[in-house]
Every structure is written in C-alpha cells, then in structure tokens.
Amino acid sequence: MNLMKSRFSILFWFGLAVCMGIVMPAIHARQTLHPMPPSPPSHYGGIEIRGDAKFVIQTRAALILLDQKAPAAFEKIQTYVGMIEQGEHSGMWAWETPPRYEVGDATAFFSVTWYASTIAHDATHSELYAQYQAAHPNQPVPEDAYGGVEVERFCIGYQLDVSKQIGAPQSEMDYLSTLDGTHCDLDHDGDCDWDDYQNRNW
Ligand SMILES: [Ca+2]
Ligand SMILES: [Ca+2]
C-alpha cells in the first residue's frame, strides 16, 4: 500500500513536471508570435492612438511629456498629426487624412524621451507638407517640399531642441548631433524612397 502510494506520487509529479515543461514554452511561443490584441482607440489631446495596450500607454506618456515640457511642439503635433499608430516601421504618412505617424516598436520603446522627440520630428515633416499644400492649392506636393537631406537636417535640429526641452538624456542628444540628414537613405543610392522605408529597422 505504501509502495503504491509513493509510486503514484512519483508518477503524479513526473506527469505534472512534463506537462509544465511542455505547456510553459508553448504559452511563451504564443505570446511571442502574436502581439497583444489592439486596444479600443485611445486619444490624447485630440490625437488618436492605435496599437496594443503597451503601445497606447507608451504613446500617452510621450504626449503627456511633450504637453507639459514642450507646449509649442505639442501644439504643432496636435495640428499636423491626427493619428499615431503602431506599425512595423516608423514613417510619417503626411498625405493621409488625418496625417498618420506610424511607429515601430524599436522607436516607441527605446525610451519615452526618444519616442517623444521623434513625434516632434515627424510632425515637422507633416507641417512642411501641409504648408506647401496650403500655398499651392490643387497641385501635387513635391517630395523635396517635405523630405530629402535638407529637410531631414531641419527636422533633426528641431528634434534636438525638443529633446533639450523635455529633459532627454545626453546620449540621445549626442546621437542626434551625429546625424547629417542622410540617415533615411539606407541603401545609399542618394534618395529616401520606398526601398529605404522597407529596409528600416526603426
Ligand atoms: Ca535610398
Ligand atoms: Ca532609391
């Protein structure tokens, strides 16, 4: 009887351990393969935020920081960015209604200050697009009106100003100081086009 009991108990624990061993990695793999489900649309200051719950929390933190520490930049963002959406890469879709800043996780979760500064950077691209469009009604907006090396330099300069205002770490400002406006030309063929966008790891 005692022998039966201990054999049962060994088998029981062995069985449990085996199950745990199989189930836990399976749960882990499932979490890795499928991101969190999207949250219902969230808003901050009139800007719609779309993505999973972690992304919404991080985006709100970045917008609150801008609202409190860089109010002029925040006002520009409210004017020229209508939606911030979690995506595979980061890019500003200035010609959409409303203008949409798509953000990859590498950018959004690097730090709240870095993320906030990129929102200010991309709002500047959108502002340039909208300003050209307002000045030239019913005309297509040329790419160099809101993109290209000179525009990138301008947007990076603005991003650096905003980084200072929001108390970004020195390392982030040092990094921005090293950029010369060609960071978007990932295949080094002299332009920043769709091929480069597809190659972005940010
Ligand atoms: Ca290129
Ligand atoms: Ca190209």
What would the pLDDT profile of 122-142 be if each residue is shown by its tens digit?
A: 999 999 999 999 999 999 999
- Structure confidence by residue, pLDDT tens digits, 131-174: 999 999 999 999 999 998 899 999 999 999 999 999 999 999 99
Confidence at residue 26, expressed as pLDDT on a 0 to 100 scale: 37
What residues contact residue 10 under an 8 Å CB cut-off, 6+ apart? none
CA dihedral sign, ordered 146, 193, 181, 60: positive
Least distant ligand from the CA of 184 = 1
More confident residue, 126 or 12: 126
Confidence at residue 181, expressed as pLDDT on a 0 to 100 scale: 86
Q: Provide the phi-psi class of 62: left if phi over 0, else alpha when psi is between -120 and 50, else beta.
A: alpha
The alpha carbon of 177 and the centre of ligand 1 are apart by a number of angstroms equal to 21
The alpha carbon of 86 and the centre of ligand 2 are apart by a number of angstroms equal to 25
- Whats the size of the chain, residue-wise? 202
Are 57 and 22 members of one domain?
A: no
Confidence of residue 35 (pLDDT cuts 50, 70, 90): low
Are 118 and 67 members of one domain?
A: yes
The alpha carbon of 90 and the centre of ligand 2 are apart by a number of angstroms equal to 18
The alpha carbon of 137 and the centre of ligand 2 are apart by a number of angstroms equal to 28
Confidence at residue 107, expressed as pLDDT on a 0 to 100 scale: 96
Residue 137: domain span: 42-199
Strand 83-86 versus strand 47-50 pairing type: parallel
The alpha carbon of 182 and the centre of ligand 2 are apart by a number of angstroms equal to 13
Are 101 and 180 members of one domain?
A: yes
- Whole-prediction pTM value? 0.78
Are 72 and 165 members of one domain?
A: yes
CB 54 within 8 A of CB 43: no
Are 26 and 76 members of one domain?
A: no
Q: Please state, in angstroms and rounded to a whole number, the distance separating the CA atoms of residues 185 and 183.
A: 6
Q: Please state, in angstroms and rounded to a whole number, the distance separating the CA atoms of residues 32 and 87.
A: 16
The alpha carbon of 196 and the centre of ligand 1 are apart by a number of angstroms equal to 5
Least distant ligand from the CA of 186 = 1
Least distant ligand from the CA of 148 = 1
Domain count, the chain: 2
In DSSP terms, 103 is beta-bridged to: 86
Confidence at residue 163, expressed as pLDDT on a 0 to 100 scale: 98
Confidence of residue 4 (pLDDT cuts 50, 70, 90): very low
Lowest mean pLDDT among 62-71, 90-99, 150-159, 192-201: 192-201
Are 181 and 142 members of one domain?
A: yes
The alpha carbon of 27 and the centre of ligand 2 are apart by a number of angstroms equal to 42
| Mean pLDDT value of segment 106-130 | 98
Confidence of residue 14 (pLDDT cuts 50, 70, 90): very low
The alpha carbon of 87 and the centre of ligand 1 are apart by a number of angstroms equal to 21
Q: What is the mean pLDDT of the chain?
A: 85
Structure tokens at 28: 């882990």
